[in-house]
Chain A
Amino acid sequence: MPQQSILVADDDALLVGLLTHRLSAKGYAVSSAGDGAAAIDAVREQRPDLIVLDAMMPVMDGFEALRRIKGDPDLSETPVVMLTALKQEADVVGALELGAEDYLIKPFMPEELLSRIGRILKKDARP
């Protein structure tokens, strides 16, 4: 199986560093984007297998980026895991309704994120 790739979209350098460290240790190829608009550009160019998306980012917030990704027939198949400090019911439900595959709230448990990502990608790989 070829190496699976993950895009981490977050404006927090610490989080990007942390996830890059953990995800590449698990064998994923990791790239990153610092805001929603850059994330969309990166998705178009790199076609990652999964996106980890923050909500509160400069330029374009994560919900808007999610809406555009899921609204674009070309990109909508890419699974998105929201990873954000927003914990209100409306935000969670809203993101899931927009098509996010999963929603984790910061502070999160890295192990949990890894296993959820693993599950989504396994399901995805099945024909």
Chain B
Amino acid sequence: MTGGLLGGLWTASLLMAASSVLFMTGLVIARLISEAGRARRRARREALVADMMSAMDGEADAARLKSEVREPRLVARALLELSTLIRGRELAAVTAALTQAGAEPALLRLMRSRNGEDQIAACEALGLFPSDKAAAALKTRLKRRTSMRVRIAAARALLQMGETPDLNDLLAAFDIGEVHAPLELSAILDEIARRATEAYLERLKSSRDAPALRAMMVGVLGRLGRYEALPVLLGAASDPEPSVRAAALSALGALGHPDAEPIIAAALDDPVPEVRAEACDAAGRTALAALAPRLAERLDDDEWLVRFRAASALLRLGEAGRETLDAAAGRASPRAMRTAQMVLAEAAA
């Protein structure tokens, strides 16, 4: 009985030790193999880049390119990298030579690969081969509700071809958590909003998207700078989600339309500090001098961020705001006084 326990202990530890060591040996061997593979791929890539450069000079070696296109994964990546560096005639010469070599069908095949990274590279590279067939394939890809990153890549490629991706396809079953490059997505939304403003506003009005996405979409409207967005923004400024409200007020500030005054005034009393802070900013940027007394109240806000933004907004209001701020610096609650004094000092320096 006790002997059994002793043996068990030893067996367990030997098993653990052996499996750990075996496992790590396996990993090291796997790594050695992949290192060798990587070296081979690097050599092939270098050959491809050299051939692409010859193509730029109009001396493309058709036969070599044809064989290289059989590895579309490599072609897609090298071409994408090249397209972040150069544009114009040279890039067109490369894509023309690659088209001759059959790159487009190869990339369409790569788009159906099971590997997500390959799909993304294929979509993005296809954007450099504008054709009806490629556009149709990208639109189909966009309709499939699979990986967000692939759909974003497809949307970007379509935009590059001069096509407008369907917003509803792009945003179907959208998961903001999957967005690795938020700036890229918001640039895509900027472009879609510019080209299909009506559909964009329609989508926002339906308010079925996740708060983080809606906040981002509202932010896009601030940069769009089109007054027809005003009604949607005014609606978003009283959205139940604080993130959306704050984004809407920030966009209203960027738009600077005086009709927003009542909404901005109401938001100065929002329960969420960040929304109040954005409302202060918006009042300042829209030059709503009539709101100066309300901004003065915010100088005594519980949150420093709001107090500071209120004082800064007053500074932007010109004469009336400046007077209000001067008055507050002389006679108000201690924290309002301190805020006013410090912001005035900062402005004077």
Contacts and interface: CB of A to CB of B under 8 A. Distances in A.
Given A14-B81, A14-B82, A109 B87 contact: yes
Contact of A107 (B53, B87, B89): B87
Interface string B85-126: 111111100000000000000000000000000000000000
Contacts of A12: 85
Contacts of B85: 12, 14-15, 18, 106-108
Nearest to B46: A17
A106 B56 CA distance: 17
Interface in B238-289: none
Contact of B89 (A22, A25, A111): A111
B84 interface: yes
Contacts of A22: 56
B84 A106 contact: yes
Contact of A108 (B56, B57, B81, B87): B87
B84 A107 contact: yes
A85 interface: yes
A109 B88 contact: yes
B140 interface: no
B91 A107 contact: yes
B49 A14 contact: yes
What secondary structure prevails in chain B residues at the interface with A? Answer: helix
Among B57, B83, B86, max chain A CB count under 10 A is at B86
A18 to B, nearest CB: 7
Interface in A76-112: 85, 106-112
A44 interface: no
Given A14-B49, A25-B57, A110 B84 contact: no
Contacts of B90: 109-111
Given A14-B49, A14-B81, A17-B49, A107 B86 contact: yes
A18 B84 CA distance: 13
A118 B84 CA distance: 24
Nearest to B81: A14
A107 B79 CA distance: 13
B88 A111 contact: yes
Contacts of B86: 18, 106-110
A94 B200 CA distance: 36
Interface string B38-65: 0000000000010001001100000000
Nearest to A20: B53
Among A12, A106, A107, A111, max chain B CB count under 10 A is at A107
Contacts of B87: 107-109
Contacts of A110: 56, 86, 88, 90
Nearest to B89: A111
Nearest to A14: B81
A22 B87 CA distance: 14
Contacts of B56: 22, 110
A21 interface: yes
Contacts of A108: 85-87
A18 B53 contact: yes
A49 B82 CA distance: 27
A30 to B, nearest CB: 14
Interface string A19-36: 001100100000000000
8 contacts: A14-B81, A15-B85, A106-B86, A107-B84, A107-B86, A108-B85, A109-B90, A110-B56
Interface of A: 12, 14-15, 17-18, 21-22, 25, 85, 106-112
Interface of B: 49, 53, 56-57, 78, 81-91
Given A12-B85, A18-B85, 18 more contacts: A14-B49, A14-B81, A14-B85, A15-B85, A18-B82, A85-B84, A106-B84, A106-B85, A107-B83, A107-B85, A107-B86, A107-B91, A108-B86, A108-B87, A109-B86, A109-B89, A110-B88, A110-B90
